[in-house]
Amino acid sequence: MVVVEVVTMTENEKTTQGAAPRATRRAAEMTAELTAELTAELTAESTAREITGAAAAETPDELRDGYDVVVVGGGAAGLSAGLMLSRARRSVVVLDAGAPRNAPAAGVHGLLGLDGISPRELLARGRAEVRRYGGQVVPGEVATATRPTHEEPDGPSSPDGPSHADGPSSPDGRSHADGPSHPDRPTDPDTPNSRDTPNGRETPNSRDTPNSRNNPAPSPFTLVLTDGRTVTARRLLVATGLVDELPSLPGLRERWGRDVVHCPYCHGWEVRDRAVGVLAVGPMAVHQALMFRQWSADVTLFTQGTPQPDEEQAEQLAARGIRVVDGEVAGLEVTGDRLTGLRLKDGRVLAREVLAVAAPMSARVGFLAGLGLRAVEHPGGAGSYLPADALGRTEVPGVWVAGNAADLSAQVGASAAAGAAAAAQVNADLIAEETRRAVAAHRAPFSAASEARVSALVTGDRRHGL
């Protein structure tokens, strides 16, 4: 009897011992899950408080003078550039006119990790991040941008154009500091036209001149704001974005960004399977109608007095089941703060829940006229933009552009990426300039500063007039 009892206890102990580790593991898993959830909630609350505080109680930075870089535009591209430059330990200010193009939208979509974030929240977070690294964000709209021309840039000018002294590095990493390359002016140190000098290898574009000795840095840019304030900077990065030139249709502007939209990638999912009308206001109308057909099977193109689709376009529209309505839309029908239809001039009302408008877009770059930079028309008729190369370099040395001002189709993510890329190029260009100056000072046997110091020591203090 005792033996049986002992055996029974031993089996129970074994069962208990097997269950204990499982219970312990489960308890640990539950604790970990609860901890993770609590941490996520606290992080979200902390982030929300930080963003809300930044948006509701931001204290604008005080504009000073003499920055490394002025970024004009406080949207995704401009703030991304400001973040990159401030992290590179550059003195940078982002001038924000406070008129974001996507302000009417409820959320920013297609932005990895932040899909659906409100435009206001995104920008508030961006401003806080720029300031975290010492950058400044100052409210203000730029009226003019100029650069004094009385001083020549670093290095001799080429005979057929100005020097690119303050231009960025080329894609192969070489600086344009000594001016553009020309077939008849070799710049390779091993070319026949190069020669050895006491200061090293010299080429036709690297010879020392009085100007390069006395003025190793180009003149700064001067920006005048609409309220009269001025600011100067060594480099200028333009990220002012676009303005949508909406048609003057009663009620349209009030519903812009809600049920009057322009971009299927920005709004397509939110208006999926709804009755979509496409208002023809330019050559992109047929393309836009075909695009929105991906999100809805009920799409109607309103020609709005524009030329009828050609034979090929008409066949494409018919094949996709897109109806074409001739005539001019006179207004929008709204019921209970929702778009319900479009009213034509002949009195007909066609039921529509969404209106897509591919309105022309214009780059906000009028303030650059003093630098000789102007927007050009997009070949596809989508609007105007500021031309630049793949790195954001404009034709004016020292000026870069990023975001929608240079790329009409860029969404928020692409604009932010372009701002970061352009900022990296600006920083590299400043490093190149500073290195040239350091090398010039290192080579100089008797610098201007040394000369002034010796002169003061030799002549003494003559302020007494003796």
Q: Output the six-digit token pair for 278.
A: 């496409």
pLDDT of residue 382: 87
Collect contacts of 374-381 with beta carbons under 8 A, ≥24 apart.
Answer: 378/408, 380/283, 380/284, 381/282, 381/283, 381/284
pLDDT of residue 138: 97
Q: d(Cα 346, Cα 140) in Å, to the nearest integer?
A: 46
Q: d(Cα 68, Cα 232) in Å, to the nearest integer?
A: 9
pLDDT of residue 7: 40
The H or E element spanning position 448 is helix 448-459
Beta-carbon neighbour count of residue 399 at 10 Å?
Answer: 25
Q: What is the pLDDT along the chain (466 residues), one digit of tens a residue?
A: 444 443 444 444 444 455 455 555 655 655 555 555 544 444 444 444 444 444 445 777 899 989 999 999 999 999 999 999 999 999 999 999 999 988 889 899 999 999 999 999 999 999 999 999 999 999 999 999 999 874 444 433 333 333 333 443 333 333 333 333 333 333 333 333 333 333 333 333 333 333 333 445 679 999 999 999 999 999 999 999 999 999 999 999 999 999 999 999 999 999 999 999 999 998 889 999 999 999 999 999 999 988 889 999 999 999 999 999 998 999 999 999 999 999 999 999 999 999 999 889 999 999 999 999 999 999 888 899 999 999 999 999 999 999 999 999 889 999 999 999 999 999 999 999 999 999 998 888 777 777 778 788 877 766 555 5
Residues with Cβ within 8 Å of 151's Cβ and at least 6 positions away in sequence, in order, are 215, 218, 219
- Asked if residue 293 lies in contact with residue 316, where contact means CB atoms within 8 angstroms, the answer is no
| Angle (CA) 240 264 381, round 5° | 60
Using DSSP's 3-state secondary structure scheme, residue 331 falls into strand
pLDDT of residue 25: 60
Collect contacts of 90-93 with beta carbons under 8 A, ≥24 apart.
Answer: 90/427, 90/430, 91/66, 91/67, 91/134, 92/67, 92/68, 92/130, 92/135, 92/136, 93/61, 93/63, 93/64, 93/67, 93/69, 93/135, 93/136, 93/137, 93/138, 93/231, 93/233
Q: d(Cα 96, Cα 139) in Å, to the nearest integer?
A: 5
**Percentage helix, strand, coil, to 5, in the chain?**
35, 20, 45
Q: d(Cα 183, Cα 148) in Å, to the nearest integer?
A: 30
Q: In sequence order, what DSSP letters do the residues of 162-195 get, joined into one string?
A: ---TTPPPPTTS---TT---BTTB---TTSTT-E
pLDDT of residue 13: 46
Pairing of strands 376-377, 221-225: unpaired
**How long a stretch of residues is the chain?**
466
Dihedral angle, C-alpha 435, 439, 440, 441, nearest 10 °: 100
Closest CA to 170 of 180, 157, 160: 180
- Asked if residue 46 lies in contact with residue 386, where contact means CB atoms within 8 angstroms, the answer is no
Residue that the structure tokens 């877009």 belong to: 361
- Asked if residue 304 lies in contact with residue 289, where contact means CB atoms within 8 angstroms, the answer is no
Residues with Cβ within 8 Å of 328's Cβ and at least 6 positions away in sequence, in order, are 304, 305, 344, 345
